[in-house]
Amino acid sequence: MIALGLEGSANKLGIGIIQHAANGEAIVLANVRHTYNTPPGQGFLPSDTARHHRAWIIPLMKQAFAEAKISFSQIDCICFTKGPGIGAPLNSVALVARTLSLMFKKPLVAVNHCIGHIEMGREITGAQNPVVLYVSGGNTQVIAYSQRKYRIFGETLDIAIGNCLDRFARVIGLSNAPSPGYNIMQEAKRGTQFVELPYTVKGMDCSFSGLLSGVEAAANEAMDENSKRKITKQDLCYSLQENGFAMLVEITERAMAHVGADSVLIVGGVGCNDRLQQMMGEMCLDRGAKVYATDERFCIDNGIMIAQAGLLAFKTGGICSLEDSTITQRFRTDDVHVAWRE
Protein backbone atom coordinates (compact mmCIF):
# COMPACT_ATOMS: atom_id res chain seq x y z
CA MET A 1 0.00 0.00 0.00
CA ILE A 2 1.16 3.54 -0.77
CA ALA A 3 0.20 6.76 1.04
CA LEU A 4 0.70 10.43 0.21
CA GLY A 5 1.35 12.66 3.21
CA LEU A 6 0.84 16.44 3.32
CA GLU A 7 2.26 18.46 6.24
CA GLY A 8 1.94 22.21 6.72
CA SER A 9 1.15 22.94 10.37
CA ALA A 10 3.79 25.69 10.71
CA ASN A 11 6.47 27.24 8.50
CA LYS A 12 7.60 23.97 6.90
CA LEU A 13 5.71 22.46 4.00
CA GLY A 14 6.36 18.76 3.47
CA ILE A 15 5.23 16.15 0.97
CA GLY A 16 5.98 12.47 1.63
CA ILE A 17 5.18 9.23 -0.14
CA ILE A 18 5.57 5.97 1.76
CA GLN A 19 5.02 2.34 0.83
CA HIS A 20 4.22 -0.51 3.21
CA ALA A 21 5.52 -3.75 1.74
CA ALA A 22 3.78 -7.09 2.23
CA ASN A 23 6.22 -7.96 5.03
CA GLY A 24 5.34 -4.76 6.89
CA GLU A 25 8.51 -2.89 5.95
CA ALA A 26 8.04 0.87 5.45
CA ILE A 27 9.82 2.22 2.36
CA VAL A 28 10.33 5.97 1.95
CA LEU A 29 9.68 6.75 -1.73
CA ALA A 30 9.90 10.53 -1.40
CA ASN A 31 10.33 13.07 1.40
CA VAL A 32 10.59 16.67 0.19
CA ARG A 33 10.24 19.91 2.13
CA HIS A 34 10.36 23.67 1.73
CA THR A 35 10.68 26.15 4.60
CA TYR A 36 9.26 29.65 4.87
CA ASN A 37 12.02 31.78 6.43
CA THR A 38 11.75 35.39 7.57
CA PRO A 39 14.58 37.90 8.16
CA PRO A 40 16.58 37.72 11.44
CA GLY A 41 14.66 39.07 14.42
CA GLN A 42 11.25 38.27 12.93
CA GLY A 43 8.79 35.43 13.40
CA PHE A 44 6.39 34.17 10.75
CA LEU A 45 2.81 35.39 10.36
CA PRO A 46 0.03 32.83 9.69
CA SER A 47 -1.17 34.60 6.53
CA ASP A 48 2.31 34.84 5.02
CA THR A 49 3.02 31.20 5.90
CA ALA A 50 -0.21 30.07 4.26
CA ARG A 51 0.69 32.09 1.15
CA HIS A 52 4.06 30.32 1.04
CA HIS A 53 2.41 26.89 1.30
CA ARG A 54 -0.05 27.69 -1.50
CA ALA A 55 2.79 28.83 -3.75
CA TRP A 56 5.01 25.80 -3.15
CA ILE A 57 2.67 22.82 -2.69
CA ILE A 58 2.22 21.99 -6.39
CA PRO A 59 5.96 22.23 -7.28
CA LEU A 60 6.77 20.07 -4.21
CA MET A 61 4.07 17.56 -5.17
CA LYS A 62 5.57 17.22 -8.66
CA GLN A 63 9.04 16.80 -7.18
CA ALA A 64 7.83 14.09 -4.77
CA PHE A 65 6.15 12.04 -7.50
CA ALA A 66 9.19 12.42 -9.74
CA GLU A 67 11.43 11.06 -6.96
CA ALA A 68 9.00 8.26 -6.08
CA LYS A 69 8.69 7.26 -9.77
CA ILE A 70 5.00 6.45 -9.41
CA SER A 71 1.73 7.94 -10.71
CA PHE A 72 -1.13 9.31 -8.64
CA SER A 73 -3.27 6.30 -9.59
CA GLN A 74 -0.98 4.11 -7.45
CA ILE A 75 -1.75 6.09 -4.28
CA ASP A 76 -4.09 4.27 -1.87
CA CYS A 77 -4.89 7.18 0.46
CA ILE A 78 -4.20 10.89 0.96
CA CYS A 79 -3.09 11.82 4.49
CA PHE A 80 -3.05 15.39 5.79
CA THR A 81 -2.27 17.13 9.05
CA LYS A 82 -5.50 17.91 10.89
CA GLY A 83 -3.67 19.60 13.78
CA PRO A 84 -2.30 20.82 16.08
CA GLY A 85 -0.79 23.82 14.38
CA ILE A 86 -1.39 27.29 12.97
CA GLY A 87 -4.83 27.72 11.43
CA ALA A 88 -4.09 29.42 8.10
CA PRO A 89 -1.30 27.10 6.87
CA LEU A 90 -3.20 24.04 8.14
CA ASN A 91 -6.25 25.12 6.16
CA SER A 92 -4.21 25.69 3.00
CA VAL A 93 -2.84 22.15 3.04
CA ALA A 94 -6.16 20.54 4.06
CA LEU A 95 -7.82 22.27 1.11
CA VAL A 96 -5.30 20.70 -1.29
CA ALA A 97 -5.85 17.27 0.31
CA ARG A 98 -9.63 17.56 -0.13
CA THR A 99 -9.24 18.72 -3.74
CA LEU A 100 -6.96 15.80 -4.62
CA SER A 101 -9.34 13.39 -2.90
CA LEU A 102 -12.25 14.62 -5.02
CA MET A 103 -10.26 14.79 -8.25
CA PHE A 104 -8.73 11.32 -8.03
CA LYS A 105 -11.40 9.63 -5.87
CA LYS A 106 -8.92 8.65 -3.15
CA PRO A 107 -9.86 8.27 0.55
CA LEU A 108 -8.74 10.92 3.04
CA VAL A 109 -7.00 10.25 6.36
CA ALA A 110 -6.77 13.02 8.98
CA VAL A 111 -3.53 12.75 11.01
CA ASN A 112 -2.54 14.19 14.37
CA HIS A 113 0.80 15.97 13.87
CA CYS A 114 2.24 14.67 17.16
CA ILE A 115 1.26 11.06 16.38
CA GLY A 116 3.01 11.48 13.03
CA HIS A 117 6.27 12.37 14.79
CA ILE A 118 5.95 9.41 17.16
CA GLU A 119 5.12 6.78 14.54
CA MET A 120 7.85 7.90 12.15
CA GLY A 121 10.33 7.94 15.02
CA ARG A 122 9.34 4.41 16.04
CA GLU A 123 9.63 3.18 12.46
CA ILE A 124 13.04 4.74 11.75
CA THR A 125 14.70 3.86 15.07
CA GLY A 126 13.03 0.54 15.80
CA ALA A 127 12.03 1.69 19.29
CA GLN A 128 9.26 -0.63 20.48
CA ASN A 129 7.58 0.91 23.51
CA PRO A 130 9.61 3.95 24.62
CA VAL A 131 8.73 6.94 26.71
CA VAL A 132 8.49 9.70 24.10
CA LEU A 133 9.83 13.22 24.55
CA TYR A 134 8.13 15.35 21.91
CA VAL A 135 9.81 18.75 21.64
CA SER A 136 9.14 21.31 18.91
CA GLY A 137 8.29 24.95 18.31
CA GLY A 138 4.67 24.45 19.32
CA ASN A 139 4.68 21.41 21.61
CA THR A 140 6.54 19.99 24.60
CA GLN A 141 5.16 16.70 25.92
CA VAL A 142 6.33 13.55 27.71
CA ILE A 143 4.25 10.67 26.39
CA ALA A 144 3.85 6.93 26.99
CA TYR A 145 1.56 4.46 25.25
CA SER A 146 -1.20 2.63 27.13
CA GLN A 147 -4.50 1.03 26.08
CA ARG A 148 -4.80 2.40 22.53
CA LYS A 149 -3.79 5.95 23.48
CA TYR A 150 -0.60 7.95 23.65
CA ARG A 151 -0.95 9.28 27.19
CA ILE A 152 0.56 12.64 28.12
CA PHE A 153 2.41 12.29 31.42
CA GLY A 154 3.83 15.81 31.45
CA GLU A 155 3.89 18.91 29.29
CA THR A 156 4.69 22.60 29.21
CA LEU A 157 2.37 24.84 31.19
CA ASP A 158 2.93 27.80 28.85
CA ILE A 159 5.24 28.02 25.82
CA ALA A 160 7.05 25.14 24.13
CA ILE A 161 10.82 24.70 24.46
CA GLY A 162 11.19 25.33 20.71
CA ASN A 163 9.25 28.57 20.97
CA CYS A 164 11.51 29.62 23.85
CA LEU A 165 14.62 29.00 21.73
CA ASP A 166 13.13 30.69 18.64
CA ARG A 167 12.13 33.82 20.53
CA PHE A 168 15.52 34.20 22.17
CA ALA A 169 17.20 33.78 18.77
CA ARG A 170 15.19 36.81 17.62
CA VAL A 171 16.33 38.82 20.65
CA ILE A 172 20.02 38.32 19.84
CA GLY A 173 19.51 38.63 16.07
CA LEU A 174 20.30 35.09 14.95
CA SER A 175 19.29 33.95 11.47
CA ASN A 176 16.12 31.93 10.92
CA ALA A 177 17.94 29.76 8.36
CA PRO A 178 18.20 26.82 8.59
CA SER A 179 16.37 27.29 11.91
CA PRO A 180 16.76 29.50 15.00
CA GLY A 181 17.20 26.45 17.26
CA TYR A 182 20.04 25.11 15.13
CA ASN A 183 21.84 28.46 15.26
CA ILE A 184 21.43 28.65 19.05
CA MET A 185 22.96 25.15 19.28
CA GLN A 186 25.99 26.29 17.28
CA GLU A 187 26.43 29.42 19.42
CA ALA A 188 26.05 27.39 22.62
CA LYS A 189 29.01 25.19 21.66
CA ARG A 190 31.23 28.27 22.08
CA GLY A 191 29.78 29.29 25.44
CA THR A 192 32.14 29.07 28.43
CA GLN A 193 30.27 30.75 31.28
CA PHE A 194 27.06 29.41 32.87
CA VAL A 195 24.51 32.09 33.76
CA GLU A 196 21.95 31.33 36.48
CA LEU A 197 18.45 31.28 34.98
CA PRO A 198 14.96 30.28 36.22
CA TYR A 199 14.39 26.52 36.45
CA THR A 200 10.70 25.62 36.70
CA VAL A 201 9.52 22.02 37.06
CA LYS A 202 6.16 21.38 38.72
CA GLY A 203 5.66 17.65 39.19
CA MET A 204 5.58 16.21 35.68
CA ASP A 205 5.11 19.59 34.00
CA CYS A 206 7.50 22.40 33.21
CA SER A 207 7.37 26.09 32.34
CA PHE A 208 9.60 27.97 29.92
CA SER A 209 8.19 31.51 30.02
CA GLY A 210 10.21 32.38 33.13
CA LEU A 211 13.34 30.92 31.54
CA LEU A 212 12.77 33.09 28.46
CA SER A 213 12.21 36.23 30.56
CA GLY A 214 15.34 35.47 32.57
CA VAL A 215 17.60 34.97 29.56
CA GLU A 216 16.15 38.07 27.85
CA ALA A 217 16.97 40.13 30.98
CA ALA A 218 20.48 38.68 31.01
CA ALA A 219 20.86 39.57 27.32
CA ASN A 220 19.80 43.17 27.98
CA GLU A 221 22.34 43.36 30.80
CA ALA A 222 25.05 41.90 28.56
CA MET A 223 24.36 44.54 25.91
CA ASP A 224 24.64 47.33 28.47
CA GLU A 225 28.09 48.91 28.12
CA ASN A 226 28.06 49.85 31.83
CA SER A 227 27.43 46.27 32.98
CA LYS A 228 30.05 44.82 35.33
CA ARG A 229 29.45 41.27 34.12
CA LYS A 230 31.01 40.27 30.82
CA ILE A 231 28.57 37.82 29.28
CA THR A 232 28.58 36.84 25.62
CA LYS A 233 25.61 35.72 23.56
CA GLN A 234 27.34 32.34 23.31
CA ASP A 235 27.26 32.09 27.12
CA LEU A 236 23.55 32.89 27.10
CA CYS A 237 22.78 30.31 24.42
CA TYR A 238 24.77 27.73 26.37
CA SER A 239 22.98 28.56 29.64
CA LEU A 240 19.56 28.57 28.00
CA GLN A 241 20.11 25.10 26.56
CA GLU A 242 21.57 23.64 29.76
CA ASN A 243 18.67 24.92 31.87
CA GLY A 244 15.84 24.09 29.48
CA PHE A 245 17.15 20.65 28.53
CA ALA A 246 17.82 19.70 32.16
CA MET A 247 14.14 20.35 32.86
CA LEU A 248 13.16 18.07 29.98
CA VAL A 249 15.51 15.29 31.10
CA GLU A 250 14.14 15.49 34.65
CA ILE A 251 10.49 15.02 33.70
CA THR A 252 11.38 12.33 31.14
CA GLU A 253 13.29 10.32 33.75
CA ARG A 254 10.35 10.64 36.14
CA ALA A 255 8.00 9.25 33.48
CA MET A 256 10.41 6.37 32.80
CA ALA A 257 10.47 5.48 36.48
CA HIS A 258 6.67 5.61 36.67
CA VAL A 259 5.99 3.29 33.72
CA GLY A 260 9.12 1.14 34.05
CA ALA A 261 10.39 2.05 30.57
CA ASP A 262 13.85 1.06 29.37
CA SER A 263 14.07 3.47 26.44
CA VAL A 264 13.40 7.06 25.38
CA LEU A 265 12.49 8.29 21.91
CA ILE A 266 13.10 11.98 21.19
CA VAL A 267 10.96 13.42 18.38
CA GLY A 268 10.12 16.88 17.05
CA GLY A 269 12.30 19.63 15.63
CA VAL A 270 14.21 20.31 18.87
CA GLY A 271 14.97 16.57 19.00
CA CYS A 272 17.75 17.21 16.43
CA ASN A 273 19.72 19.13 19.04
CA ASP A 274 23.03 17.39 19.78
CA ARG A 275 23.21 18.63 23.37
CA LEU A 276 19.69 17.45 24.22
CA GLN A 277 20.49 14.00 22.83
CA GLN A 278 23.75 13.95 24.81
CA MET A 279 22.08 14.93 28.10
CA MET A 280 19.30 12.38 27.58
CA GLY A 281 21.90 9.76 26.73
CA GLU A 282 23.77 10.40 29.99
CA MET A 283 20.57 9.98 32.00
CA CYS A 284 19.70 6.77 30.14
CA LEU A 285 23.22 5.41 30.68
CA ASP A 286 22.77 5.85 34.44
CA ARG A 287 19.46 3.95 34.26
CA GLY A 288 20.70 1.21 31.94
CA ALA A 289 18.27 2.45 29.29
CA LYS A 290 18.57 3.39 25.60
CA VAL A 291 17.90 6.69 23.86
CA TYR A 292 16.59 6.84 20.30
CA ALA A 293 16.53 9.89 18.02
CA THR A 294 16.38 10.70 14.30
CA ASP A 295 18.20 13.18 12.07
CA GLU A 296 16.72 16.33 10.51
CA ARG A 297 15.07 14.37 7.66
CA PHE A 298 12.55 12.97 10.13
CA CYS A 299 12.65 15.04 13.34
CA ILE A 300 11.91 18.36 11.61
CA ASP A 301 8.30 18.60 10.34
CA ASN A 302 7.93 16.53 7.18
CA GLY A 303 5.34 14.91 4.96
CA ILE A 304 6.61 11.34 5.31
CA MET A 305 5.62 11.17 9.00
CA ILE A 306 2.06 12.14 8.07
CA ALA A 307 2.03 9.46 5.37
CA GLN A 308 3.35 6.86 7.84
CA ALA A 309 0.85 7.57 10.62
CA GLY A 310 -1.95 8.00 8.08
CA LEU A 311 -1.26 4.67 6.40
CA LEU A 312 -1.23 2.90 9.77
CA ALA A 313 -4.64 4.45 10.52
CA PHE A 314 -5.95 3.71 7.00
CA LYS A 315 -5.15 0.01 7.34
CA THR A 316 -7.23 -0.12 10.52
CA GLY A 317 -10.24 1.74 9.08
CA GLY A 318 -9.27 5.32 9.92
CA ILE A 319 -10.84 7.01 6.89
CA CYS A 320 -11.97 10.64 7.19
CA SER A 321 -15.14 11.84 5.46
CA LEU A 322 -15.06 15.02 3.40
CA GLU A 323 -17.34 16.69 5.96
CA ASP A 324 -14.93 15.87 8.80
CA SER A 325 -11.78 16.93 6.95
CA THR A 326 -11.55 20.20 8.86
CA ILE A 327 -8.55 21.30 10.90
CA THR A 328 -8.23 21.44 14.70
CA GLN A 329 -5.58 23.85 15.96
CA ARG A 330 -5.55 22.32 19.46
CA PHE A 331 -5.69 18.64 18.51
CA ARG A 332 -4.42 16.79 21.59
CA THR A 333 -2.13 13.78 21.29
CA ASP A 334 -4.28 11.84 23.74
CA ASP A 335 -7.46 12.51 21.72
CA VAL A 336 -6.42 9.94 19.10
CA HIS A 337 -7.57 6.30 19.22
CA VAL A 338 -4.47 4.29 18.26
CA ALA A 339 -6.17 1.32 16.61
CA TRP A 340 -3.00 -0.03 15.00
CA ARG A 341 -1.20 -0.86 18.27
CA GLU A 342 -1.97 -3.61 20.75
Model pLDDT, residue 18: 98
End-to-end C-alpha distance for the chain, whole angstroms:
21
Annotated binding-site residues for substrate read 134-138, 166, 181, 273
pTM of whole model > 0.85? yes
Fold of 2-119+299-316: Nucleotidyltransferase; domain 5 (3.30.420)
| 149-to-129, 157, 284, 315 alpha-carbon distances in Å | 12, 21, 24, 17
Model pLDDT, residue 226: 73
Q: Within the chain, which residues score under 50 in pLDDT?
A: none
Fold of 129-293: Nucleotidyltransferase; domain 5 (3.30.420)
Model pLDDT, residue 96: 98
Model pLDDT, residue 228: 72
Whether residue 178 has a cis bond before it, omega within 30° of 0? yes
If phi > 0 it is left, if psi is from -120 to 50 it is alpha, else beta; for residue 102 that is alpha
Annotated binding-site residues read 113, 117, 134-138, 166, 181, 273, 301
Rounded to an integer, what distance in angstroms lies between the CA atom of residue 271 and that of residue 297?
12
Model pLDDT, residue 229: 75
Model pLDDT, residue 83: 97
**Could you read off the pLDDT of 26-84 as tens digits, one per residue?**
999 999 999 999 999 889 999 999 999 999 999 999 999 999 999 999 999 999 999 99
| 291-to-130, 263, 312 alpha-carbon distances in Å | 9, 6, 24
Annotated binding-site residues for a divalent metal cation read 113, 117, 134, 301
Among candidate residues 90, 133, 87, the one with its CA nearest the CA of residue 114: 133
Q: CA gyration radius for the chain? A: 20
Q: Cα–chain-centroid distance for residue 22? A: 29
Give me the residue spans of the domains in the chain. 2-119+299-316, 129-293
Model pLDDT, residue 93: 98
Rounded to an integer, what distance in angstroms lies between the CA atom of residue 303 and that of residue 83?
13
Identical topology for domains 2-119+299-316 and 129-293: yes
Rounded to an integer, what distance in angstroms lies between the CA atom of residue 273 and that of residue 139?
15
